[in-house]
Structure formats: structure tokens, C-alpha cells
């Protein structure tokens, strides 16, 4: 089984650019979709871990839907802090896995890996949280099965060293209890997140938690605690997770763009 992970697409209404007119997020997402479709072998599915659009409007979700339509494999969506639950579930109503009301949390069954989606959105805020209701739901879902599992969510449950993101926009309430829940379930192979616009991996709560670059712009890697929050145009990428019986998940970073090659060694 091969799983692709993309994040932070930040789609605007058609014809508009993000980040004060500097980023054509739609063009970047179109390239990402073409890149995933061209992979051999193709991924079996794609996880899209939030900040799907830039302001949570129906027009943005309609544009996102059109951009994702060419994907040759199913995509599973979760909200980030730039998203809004009701417009997302309305525009993507044919995505039957999305709950009709409440938090956008769900499981995906029937694959070699079980997928469990968590909703960390706090409407109107940049930080995330996992309240008692969301964590009770997770605890119950994980108790149902010992199958190898991926959790995916928008806000990472760990500090990255990028101070502004950790201090002002991180996962606040619920991170400690989430760690305790995850530690009780050694079948959790990965916790996959977005939000940070960078490729980061860390050993966390007895498993591995990871983020992925944005399909468009990336946060500047500056580990100075006083550094301001800035962005640049390092290459976008998708993470690929290949399930290998007897080994588990093997992770790769697949850069999106034309960088020359392949050439024989």
C-alpha cells in the first residue's frame, strides 16, 4: 500500500493569489495533482492535512474541489486553522466519510492500514486544540482495532523549534492526553500533520510524528527563538508512505517540480 500526504494548499477564490499576491497556490496545487498522478506506482490514496483553503469560504472550496478533481485516487480531507467546517462539508458532500455535523473526525477502513482523522480546528484562531469530546472519540476508535494505524491531523502535537509556530499557533489543549492515548496503542505507525510548511520528523509518544511541506510556499527554517515568521519558495513536496509487510511504513519525500533527470549514474 502506498499513501501520499500533502498539506497546506491555501486555495483562494479563482483568480486570486495568496499571501498579499505573492503565491499562486492554485497553480502549485495543480502541479502537485499532476505529480501524484504521474508517480509509478501511483499512491492508493492521498491525505490532505488541512489549511485546504485560505479563508474558509464556499468559493474557495469550490475552487479546491475543481483542482482536486483530476486526482486519480481518493483524497481524504481534514480542516486546518484556515478552514471552516460547514462550507467544507457542504461543497464536498460527496465525500461520504465526512460527518454531516460536528467535528470532522472519521475512520477509513478496508486497507492494509487503518486511517483515523482528527479535527484540531478552533474557529477563528490560529492555534489548535483537542477537547475532551474529540479525545474521547479517538480513544473509543483506537480501542476498536489493533490493525496498523495512521493518525492524521493539522496541528502537530510536538514543538518544532520554530518559536512563533510553537508558542502562538501550536496545539494547546489536549496535547498531553493525546500523547497518553497514543502511547497505549503501539499499532499507531505514524501521526501525520500539516501546519508547519516544512518536512519534520520526531519520535513522539512511542511512535513517529511527521509534517510535510506545503504544496506551495514554505516557512523559513529559522531556529532562533526571536526569529519573525517569514516564508519562501523552497521546493514543494509530497510525503510518500509505503507499507511493507514485515518492515512497516517506509517514508519518502517526493519533490514537486522539474529539477532535471533522471540520468544514469
* Within a domain: 7: yes
SS3 197: coil
Mean pLDDT of the 68-72 span: 98
Q: Return the C-alpha cell found at 256.
A: 514537486
The reply to whether 207 falls in a domain is yes
Q: What is the pLDDT of residue 209?
A: 98
**Domain membership flag for residue 93:** yes
Structural domains of the chain, count: 1
Residue 16: predicted pLDDT: 96
| pLDDT tens-place string over residues 191-232 | 999 999 999 999 999 999 999 999 999 999 999 999 999 999
Compute the distance between CA of residue 64 and CA of residue 11 in angstroms, rounded to an integer: 6
Query: Is position 263 within any domain?
Result: no
pLDDT value at 233 more than 90: yes
Residues 131-175: tens digit of each pLDDT? 999 999 999 999 999 999 999 999 999 999 999 999 999 999 999
Tell me whether residue 262 is in a domain.
Answer: no
- Which three-class secondary structure state does DSSP give residue 47? strand
DSSP string across 49-100: ES--BSS--HHHHHHHHHHHTT-SS-EEEE--TT--HHHHHHHTTT-TTS-S
Confidence of residue 245 (pLDDT cuts 50, 70, 90): confident
* Residues 91/65, Cβ–Cβ less than 8 Å: yes
| CATH number reported for the structural domain that contains residue 235 in this entry | 3.60.21.10
**Considering the entire predicted model, what is its pTM?**
0.97
Cβ contact 197:219 at 8 Å: yes
Distance CA 156, CA 152 (A): 9
> Percentage of the chain surpassing pLDDT 90?
98
Mean pLDDT, the chain, rounded, equals 97
Q: Is 264 contained in some domain?
A: no
Residue 230, in any domain of the structure? yes
Provide the 3-class DSSP secondary structure of residue 30: helix
Cβ atoms of 78 and 130 closer than 8 Å: no
Please check whether residue 31 lies inside any domain of the structure.
yes
- Residue numbers of the domain that contains 151: 2-255
- What strands, in cross-sheet order, belong to the sheet with 200-204? 106-108, 114-117, 149-152, 188-193, 207-211, 200-204
Amino acid at each position: 500500500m502506498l499513501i501520499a500526504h500533502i498539506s497546506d494548499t491555501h486555495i483562494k477564490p479563482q483568480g486570486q493569489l495568496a499571501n498579499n499576491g505573492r503565491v499562486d497556490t492554485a497553480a502549485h496545487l495543480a502541479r502537485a495533482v499532476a505529480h501524484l498522478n504521474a508517480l509509478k506506482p501511483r499512491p492508493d490514496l492521498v491525505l490532505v492535512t488541512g489549511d485546504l483553503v485560505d479563508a474558509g469560504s464556499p468559493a474557495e472550496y469550490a475552487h479546491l474541489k475543481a483542482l482536486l478533481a483530476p486526482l486519480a485516487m481518493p483524497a481524504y480531507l481534514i480542516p486546518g486553522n484556515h478552514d471552516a467546517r460547514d462550507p467544507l462539508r457542504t461543497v464536498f458532500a460527496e465525500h461520504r466519510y465526512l460527518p454531516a455535523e460536528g467535528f470532522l473526525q472519521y475512520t477509513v477502513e478496508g486497507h492494509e492500514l487503518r486511517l483515523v482523522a482528527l479535527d484540531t480546528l478552533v474557529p477563528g484562531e490560529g492555534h489548535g486544540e483537542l477537547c475532551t469530546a474529540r479525545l474521547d472519540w479517538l480513544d473509543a476508535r483506537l480501542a476498536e482495532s489493533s490493525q496498523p494505524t495512521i493518525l492524521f491531523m493539522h496541528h502537530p502535537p510536538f514543538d518544532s523549534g520554530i518559536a512563533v509556530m510553537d508558542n502562538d499557533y501550536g496545539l494547546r489543549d489536549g496535547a498531553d492526553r493525546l500523547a497518553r492515548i497514543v502511547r497505549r496503542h503501539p499499532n499507531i505507525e505514524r501521526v501525520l500533520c500539516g501546519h508547519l510548511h516544512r518536512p519534520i520528523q520526531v519520535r513522539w509518544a512511542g511512535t513517529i510524528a511527521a509534517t510535510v511541506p506545503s504544496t506551495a510556499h514554505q516557512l523559513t527554517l529559522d531556529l532562533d527563538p526571536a526569529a519573525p515568521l517569514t516564508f519562501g519558495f523552497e521546493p514543494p513536496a509530497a510525503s510518500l508512505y509505503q507499507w511493507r509487510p514485515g518492515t512497516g511504513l517506509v517514508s519518502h519525500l517526493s519533490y514537486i517540480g522539474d529539477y532535471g533527470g533522471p540520468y544514469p549514474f
